[in-house]
Structure 1
């Protein structure tokens, strides 16, 4: 067998494990998690670099986003265009980022969850902050470049970001088996913390928090668990509680209104709409009667959600209710996970700053080494030109006497005079002593005659002095830690001065929101449901006045308490619960609400078998019967549960519940099949089982026959049934044993 045809046998589970780990690592490292050094995910880094390469600077015209996305996808990021555009949009949204990195022009979405316009309509360019703090010095060999996906281009492995972007702009990403969630912070505070660390690397997290007070969300709001922040910043994990900012405004006539001017960061997007719905829900369910009107008056100027209150409303209690029952108080889960040294790591505040400072020193070292090398080259050339000016007549003689550039260069560098004509022997001897370097010789050969003007020579000497100063400065920076630290801190101060702004999010310790729910007055009501599944509740007196119409129009009528629950048993063996308070209460002629809307019951998938009041069921036993003839009795207390839906009984394959009824010990049961078989026996013969049991066979069924009806009646009372057109006197049927065939009726 040739080597090309060899079959390699391998354990399937090992292959799957290796493949999945490879996939997981690629998602973690190359897609979902930011790098601790520049705080950017690959898609963000590639988009910014591509905009830099396209020359879409802050001081140049905007370019279509479609052009940026297409270029990024073709050169650096071989994934879907939507992922690139979404990353670009987020970098331009000031309500999501601490500092926007992209200057967007057009519809880039809103804080209320409106999406950005299609990329063919919107335009963008780099912001000034990004240009200066993220992309400068790329030409000075400060970061490594690697091949792109098809090795036709080079892209930076990391951007030379000068500020701790991971903290300033935060990050969100879901990888495989891990996720990152880092809040945004204030630029000034973070820069102050970095400088404090550079002055004393033994500084503790607690001391750093004198500078970084806590997260600073672009949407403002209030962080209310200040005491938890130290632990969060030490471990890199925890939960931050944020509240929206609520102000009280006085209106005419002694009325007040609550105005929400700042929202929690987690409410961005559809959260605002959900909040309005939740408040409306609190009003509808009568959890509060203090709110008269809700309006969203937000605009470009900012958030303004107004809740108009009735006169004499308890404002503090209402505020606490909003915090407790809506997302006006929410939790931001912190998990400061980033790629550090090529692997994912959960980092505390100090560790992030440490990595950032190490990166800054690496950038500065590479930058000043590059600048020093350039200045040394310049110095070499300048010294050559100055020296050449002193012997310019000799050099002109060499050039005029040379047959080729090669001979002239050889003479300038090595003093070789063989192929050159000189006017005098002294000139030949002096030429033989010349020892310019290759670089100096090139500069001399390329020098223009105007450089010999006196002022030009003076300028050259001044330039040389400047070069020597630069060399001395660069060498000092490279050789002294303090000098390099000083340069880095000065740059940070410049960014702080130009781009810093005041904190938006307040940090405090607030008490747990506590509100007292108004107790509902307990009263008896009548539950009514028609054959279409529309249900409502009415006062007992309303029912009594309209009794005849109510009984004829409704399928189920139950007397119950307004604080109670209604139970629905279905043919699929489930029991659904409905809070009576969830049903509309009011007029007799109101239509009511579909039962599907207030419970988990789905009319399209299951049929009702019995509807009853939970309180009345507490002291009863229930008889369950299925079409395959299985029966059992179950204690009503088994159904006293908090869940909205539970399994009420266990069913065999292709079986269904046909009857659920309240049963007593001294009753007789009659089972009737579709084929016309009737079986009568005492109900006491039916064994008691748990709700999770299948039950026992109640009747031996003929082939293809199935149980259809179950009757219960007291012994000695008259009870009637029907099969076809024939009426059956059930109390005259012979009493038999459970699990027998029964008697056939000739209907």
Structure 2
């Protein structure tokens, strides 16, 4: 019986190695494209499977479910959804610079509508995919590797002839890294590749005279042209995008703004959010110039129409859209791809260099294969031509042979012992024959009609063509310039057949300067009901409806309409909401969920204190937690610009019970869920920074927690309660902080 061996090793080393293996698997085999063909594994496998299934551009469409199932079963066992999503994206002309799949059916829309289920849609290879991505696979042009279960072979990389990584771009999130490459214009990319091939020392700036910058399928305007050289040199940076806004004349001298192109980053749900943002700006009275909004987009393109008032300030309104909505956005560039088996961030010149090296490798392998075939043809043709000159002797050999083996031996080695000849002269000539084995086989398999004069003439012409091909292929393989010209000629053909006009404008745009309508400052009252719905009303309206307002709302906060409201929650966070973002109107007007106005999430957090920002000036806040941690914090620490900030540090499993604005001389009473009360002076609670935990206010019994806190001045009769029993707090003995407290007797 074999003894089992226990290997002792450091657990952290095992975890480290396992995680690195997993990360590299995700990076190389799932998330990042290869710099050579610009495809992720799922895209490459899907296209190759369609090629294998014969779903060509000139043949009928096939169900996507058939393609997905076959790809998953043979090459990509990672679930059907990832394969179908990749297939759909390759067919969407609003996402790809060059669609690789010809889709038939509902493949989604630019506005975010999803594609139909794979059982309803059909697809086939696009013509360019077949011609420039999958051609010559039969010429040993790329290596084939075993699939996941070693039952099939798949190409390690597709023999893509155009720089697909630049043309179609890429997006992907791996472990610890992400790629984001914009799409580019096919014609410009090809011009840049040609320029590099003619001058390997060309700089990035010189390449940008051919490739102007990104060319997004949605069009739009790149407004930071001067930043592009740095972005394309390093492979990282931010491209600032704007949608295209046109002004049209309406009725009665009115104007309308028409958005005909959107930033690439707005594809999908971004359009709906953009419309909502415009509505929110109108409701918040940021502008009074917009009368109506309509989305008239269709298959023909984007058309979002804003009807304007007469004499509207159009320039200011356009700048507002750029500043306050995603009509101006940034595209983060990180040109990360797998090069030589490892992830690497590359600039434009490096990507083109890798592509050109790959093209030379493809052409070398292709023409070596073609040359070998032509040399084999040449050998056979020369044998047949030579045989035609001695055809009578060959016929005599065949008639005098007892077997094919004897005839073949005579043709190759001149062996005449086992053959009967009519004359000694024939035998002497036969002994001098020295055909190769391939030539001898071809002669023996030759049909008699090949001896017709015209057939012999055709053979001679074919031989001449073969010699020309051999000379041509050897010249391509041995001459750098010849191979360069072949590659350039191919690229020119693709440019002529598939290039289109640039869609995205590249310029140095002016900074959008938006002047907000000045709002007259006034006092308002924030009303927040128990369901989390908020609105503001003027002070007079509140006073008239005070009884109803107090009974219907949980929080009532006086504030300025130009200020902010600070929301302190039980999770130790402080959220800020601009008062101007909260609907203002009459007492019975509609409220909105306060969740929609900031980062506060009522499903995860609970409000413990709400105040106007101006209340925090020269104030002190007392923080109390369930585990009895206390501290005072100066209100100035919360006068920050961030929408959300950490208001206090909490221990594990702890939460804030109360945040209270305090006075200098006050008594504190802490009440626990178990009925313990502890009274001490506020002066015993030290002032700390907001990032501190605080000090312990009370020694809690096991499993007990702080339930309530009371603040009152000396001599003020203050009541508390525990299980419906009233407790006079000012009669409790004054103790020191961090005591056990007094148990209430029921």
Give the direction of change, closer, same or farther, for the CA distance of 1:736–1:703 in structure 2 (3 Å limit): farther
For 1:262, the equivalent position in structure 2 comes to 261
2:687 to 662, 686, 689: 689
* Distance (whole Å) between structure 2 residues aligned to residue 713 and residue 231 of structure 1: 65
Residues 672 and 704, structure 2, Cα contact 8 Å, conserved in 1: no
- 3-state SS of paired residue (2:405): helix
Residue 281 of structure 1, CA deviation? 1.9
* Distance (whole Å) between structure 1 residues aligned to residue 521 and residue 166 of structure 2: 54
For 2:162, the equivalent position in structure 1 comes to 163
Residues 669 and 713, structure 1, Cα contact 8 Å, conserved in 2: no
1:40-439 alignment runs, 5 A limit: 40-439=39-438
Residues 186 and 216, structure 1, Cα contact 8 Å, conserved in 2: yes
1:377-410: CA deviation from partner (whole Å, max 9, x where unpaired) = 2122122222222222222221112111111111
Give the direction of change, closer, same or farther, for the CA distance of 1:436–1:609 in structure 2 (3 Å limit): closer
For 1:488, the equivalent position in structure 2 comes to 487
Residue 493 of structure 1, CA deviation? 1.1
Larger Rg computed on CA atoms: 1
Residues 720 and 727, structure 1, Cα contact 8 Å, conserved in 2: no
Q: Structure 1 residues 111-120 or 573-582, which shifts more? A: 573-582
Give the direction of change, closer, same or farther, for the CA distance of 1:669–1:83 in structure 2 (3 Å limit): closer
Give the direction of change, closer, same or farther, for the CA distance of 1:666–1:338 in structure 2 (3 Å limit): closer
For 1:511, the equivalent position in structure 2 comes to 510
- 3-state SS of paired residue (2:78): coil
* Distance (whole Å) between structure 1 residues aligned to residue 367 and residue 276 of structure 2: 58
Residues 28 and 344, structure 1, Cα contact 8 Å, conserved in 2: yes
Residue 687 of structure 1, CA deviation? 5.1
- 3-state SS of paired residue (1:260): strand
1:404-458: CA deviation from partner (whole Å, max 9, x where unpaired) = 1111111111121222222222222222222221111111111111111121121
Residue 160 of structure 1, CA deviation? 1.5
Q: Give the unaligned 5+ runs of structure 2.
A: none
* Distance (whole Å) between structure 1 residues aligned to residue 343 and residue 700 of structure 2: 66
Residue 342 of structure 1, CA deviation? 2.1
* Distance (whole Å) between structure 2 residues aligned to residue 503 and residue 156 of structure 1: 33
Give the direction of change, closer, same or farther, for the CA distance of 1:201–1:616 in structure 2 (3 Å limit): closer
- 3-state SS of paired residue (1:5): coil
1:145-184: CA deviation from partner (whole Å, max 9, x where unpaired) = 2222222222222222111111111122222222222111
For 2:440, the equivalent position in structure 1 comes to 441
- 3-state SS of paired residue (1:125): strand
* Distance (whole Å) between structure 2 residues aligned to residue 125 and residue 189 of structure 1: 27
Residues 564 and 613, structure 2, Cα contact 8 Å, conserved in 1: yes
Q: Structure 1 residues 549-558 or 140-149, which shifts more? A: 549-558
Q: Structure 1 residues 361-370 or 184-193, which shifts more? A: 361-370
Residues 629 and 701, structure 1, Cα contact 8 Å, conserved in 2: no
* Distance (whole Å) between structure 2 residues aligned to residue 705 and residue 236 of structure 1: 55
* Distance (whole Å) between structure 2 residues aligned to residue 88 and residue 500 of structure 1: 23
Give the direction of change, closer, same or farther, for the CA distance of 1:360–1:546 in structure 2 (3 Å limit): closer
Residues 572 and 647, structure 2, Cα contact 8 Å, conserved in 1: yes
Residues 148 and 155, structure 1, Cα contact 8 Å, conserved in 2: yes
- 3-state SS of paired residue (2:292): strand
Residue 728 of structure 1, CA deviation? 9.3
Give the direction of change, closer, same or farther, for the CA distance of 1:486–1:549 in structure 2 (3 Å limit): closer
1:240-283: CA deviation from partner (whole Å, max 9, x where unpaired) = 11111111111111211111111111111221122122222222
Give the direction of change, closer, same or farther, for the CA distance of 1:584–1:340 in structure 2 (3 Å limit): closer
1:641-667: CA deviation from partner (whole Å, max 9, x where unpaired) = 445556666788998877666554577
Q: Structure 1 residues 417-426 or 695-704, which shifts more? A: 695-704
For the pair 1:478 / 2:477, whether they are aligned, the reply is: yes
For 2:535, the equivalent position in structure 1 comes to 536
Q: Give the unaligned 5+ runs of structure 1.
A: none
* Distance (whole Å) between structure 2 residues aligned to residue 219 and residue 659 of structure 1: 51
1:36-86: CA deviation from partner (whole Å, max 9, x where unpaired) = 222222222222222222211111111122222222222222221222222
Residue 26 of structure 1, CA deviation? 2.3
- 3-state SS of paired residue (1:538): strand
Residue 689 of structure 1, CA deviation? 2.6
- 3-state SS of paired residue (1:104): strand
Q: Structure 1 residues 523-532 or 324-333, which shifts more? A: 523-532
* Distance (whole Å) between structure 1 residues aligned to residue 527 and residue 336 of structure 2: 56
* Distance (whole Å) between structure 1 residues aligned to residue 743 and residue 200 of structure 2: 95
For 1:710, the equivalent position in structure 2 comes to 710
Q: TM-score, normalised by structure 2?
A: 0.89
Give the direction of change, closer, same or farther, for the CA distance of 1:254–1:74 in structure 2 (3 Å limit): same
* Distance (whole Å) between structure 1 residues aligned to residue 170 and residue 656 of structure 2: 53
Q: TM-score, normalised by structure 1?
A: 0.89
Give the direction of change, closer, same or farther, for the CA distance of 1:660–1:93 in structure 2 (3 Å limit): closer
* Distance (whole Å) between structure 1 residues aligned to residue 500 and residue 350 of structure 2: 25
Q: How many residues align?
A: 742
Residue 738 of structure 1, CA deviation? 6.3
* Distance (whole Å) between structure 1 residues aligned to residue 396 and residue 651 of structure 2: 113
Residues 291 and 309, structure 1, Cα contact 8 Å, conserved in 2: yes
Residue 596 of structure 1, CA deviation? 4.8
Q: Considering only aligned residues, what root-mean-square deviation do their CA atoms show, in Å?
A: 3.5
Residues 699 and 738, structure 1, Cα contact 8 Å, conserved in 2: no
Residue 614 of structure 1, CA deviation? 3.8
1:7-28: CA deviation from partner (whole Å, max 9, x where unpaired) = 2222222222222222222222
- 3-state SS of paired residue (2:500): coil
- 3-state SS of paired residue (1:433): coil
* Distance (whole Å) between structure 2 residues aligned to residue 651 and residue 464 of structure 1: 88
1:344-393: CA deviation from partner (whole Å, max 9, x where unpaired) = 22222122222222222222222222212211221221222222222222
Residues 632 and 695, structure 1, Cα contact 8 Å, conserved in 2: yes
- 3-state SS of paired residue (2:202): coil
